[in-house]
C-alpha cells in the first residue's frame, strides 16, 4: 500500500459527460501529480500541484482541469468526454516538489471508460 | 522518436534466470525512475537514480549518465516478478525546476515456473 488513495476505482460514463476523479496523497506529501495511461499513448504526465498551487503542466487537454485543496487532496475534472479519453488515470504524490531528488508514490488508479 | 526507449518490449524467461531490462534516453536528465506495474494496474516505485548503482533485494539498477543508459537487473527471477517494468526520467531542471515524469513504453516480463 503506497498510502495514496484514488477514488473511484472504476467509472463508466457516456460521451459528452463530466466526471471528477479524486486523489488523497500520502500523509505529509505536498506534491500531487496526475498521469494518464492509454493503450496508444502509454503513460503521460498531465499536471502537478504543490501545496495548493499549480506547479507544472504536461499534456493536459483544455477540457481537463485539476485543483489541490487546503487539505492537500486533489481532484481531476474531465469534461465533454470523448471515447478517446478512456484510460487509466493515476495520481502520484511526493514529499518534495521535484522528482529529480525524491521518489513518487502512486495510487491504484481510476479506470475510466467512456461509452 | 520517443525520448525514452526501453528494450526488450517483451521478455519471457524461466524461473531462476538473470534478467536485464535496458533503458536509453535522449535528453539531459536529473534523475531516472524504475517503476513496476502489476496486471492489476497499480504502479510501484522501485528505484530513483541520478548516478551509479542501487540494490534492493534481488533488484539492481544502474545508470551511466554519459552514455544516457540505465539497466534494471533481477537476480534469481521468480514468477511473482512477472509485471511491466517502466523506465521514466525527470528532465534537467529549467526555470522553476518542476516537471512530471517522461515514460518509456515498458517491458512486459513473464517468468515461467
Q: What is the pLDDT of residues B16-29, one digit of tens each?
A: 999 999 999 998 89
Residue A8: asked if its preceding bond is cis (omega within 30°), the reply is: yes
pLDDT value for B41: 78
**Strand ranges (E), chain B:** 4-7, 10-14, 19-25, 29-37, 43-49, 52-56, 59-64, 69-74, 83-91, 102-103, 107-112
For residue A49, what is the nearest residue in chain B, using CA coordinates? Answer: B98
Cross-chain residue pair B45–A104, CB shorter than 8 Å:
yes
- Strands A105-106 and A87-94, by their bridges, are antiparallel
User: Which chain B residues touch A95 with a CB distance below 8 Å?
Assistant: none
Q: What is the pLDDT of residue A1?
A: 83
CB contact under 8 A, B43 and A106: yes
The residue with greater pLDDT, A42 or A77, is A77
Report which of B7, B4, B12 is spatially closest to residue B33, judged by C-alpha positions: B4
Residue A84: φ, ψ to 5°:
-70, -10
- Distances, alpha carbon A15 to alpha carbons A12, A78, A96, B2, B96, in Å: 10, 11, 37, 30, 37
Q: Which residues of A touch B48 (CB under 8 A)?
A: 99, 102-103
Question: What is the spatial distance between Cα A74 and Cα A6, in angstroms, rounded to a whole number?
Answer: 10
What is the overall mean pLDDT for chain A? 94
Q: What pLDDT sits at residue B97?
A: 53
Q: Is the pLDDT of residue B30 over 80?
A: yes
- DSSP 3-state of A88: strand
Whether the link from the prior residue into B8 is cis, omega within 30° of 0, is yes
Q: What is the mean pLDDT of residues A32-44?
A: 93
pLDDT at A101: 79
Residue A59 pLDDT class (50, 70, 90 cuts): confident
Distance CA B99, CA A54 (A): 11
Most confident residue range from A27-31, B1-5, B40-44, B99-103: A27-31
B27 touches chain A (CB under 8 A): no
Query: In this predicted structure, what is the pLDDT of residue A98?
Result: 80
Does the pLDDT at position B96 exceed 70? no
User: What is the least distance, in Å, from the CA of B11 to any CA of chain A?
Assistant: 18
**A99 part of contact set with chain B, CB < 8 Å:** yes
pLDDT band for position B91 (cuts 50, 70, 90): confident
Query: How does pLDDT run across A61-89, given as a tens digit for each residue?
Result: 999 999 999 999 999 999 999 999 999 99
Amino acid at each position: 500500500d503506497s498510502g495514496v488513495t484514488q477514488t473511484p476505482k472504476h467509472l463508466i460514463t457516456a460521451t459528452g459527460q463530466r466526471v471528477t476523479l479524486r486523489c488523497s496523497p500520502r500523509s505529509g506529501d505536498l506534491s500531487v501529480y496526475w498521469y494518464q495511461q492509454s493503450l496508444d499513448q502509454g503513460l503521460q504526465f498531465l499536471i502537478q500541484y504543490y501545496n495548493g498551487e499549480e506547479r507544472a503542466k504536461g499534456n493536459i487537454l483544455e477540457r481537463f482541469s485539476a485543483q489541490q485543496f487546503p487539505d492537500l487532496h486533489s481532484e481531476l475534472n474531465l469534461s465533454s468526454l470523448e471515447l478517446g479519453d478512456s484510460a487509466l488515470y493515476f495520481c502520484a504524490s511526493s514529499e518534495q516538489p521535484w522528482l529529480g531528488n525524491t521518489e513518487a508514490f502512486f495510487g491504484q488508479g481510476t479506470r475510466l471508460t467512456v461509452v | 522518436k520517443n525520448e525514452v526507449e526501453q528494450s526488450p518490449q517483451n521478455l519471457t524467461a524461466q524461473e531462476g534466470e538473470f534478467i536485464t531490462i535496458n533503458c536509453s534516453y535522449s535528453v539531459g536528465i536529473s534523475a531516472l525512475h524504475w517503476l513496476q506495474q502489476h496486471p492489476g494496474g497499480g504502479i510501484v516505485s522501485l528505484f530513483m537514480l541520478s548516478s551509479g548503482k542501487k540494490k534492493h533485494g534481488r533488484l539492481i539498477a544502474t545508470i551511466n549518465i554519459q552514455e544516457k543508459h540505465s539497466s534494471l537487473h533481477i537476480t534469481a527471477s521468480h514468477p511473482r516478478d512477472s509485471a511491466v517494468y517502466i523506465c521514466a526520467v525527470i528532465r534537467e531542471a529549467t526555470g522553476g525546476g518542476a516537471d512530471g515524469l517522461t515514460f518509456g513504453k515498458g517491458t512486459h516480463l513473464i517468468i515461467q515456473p
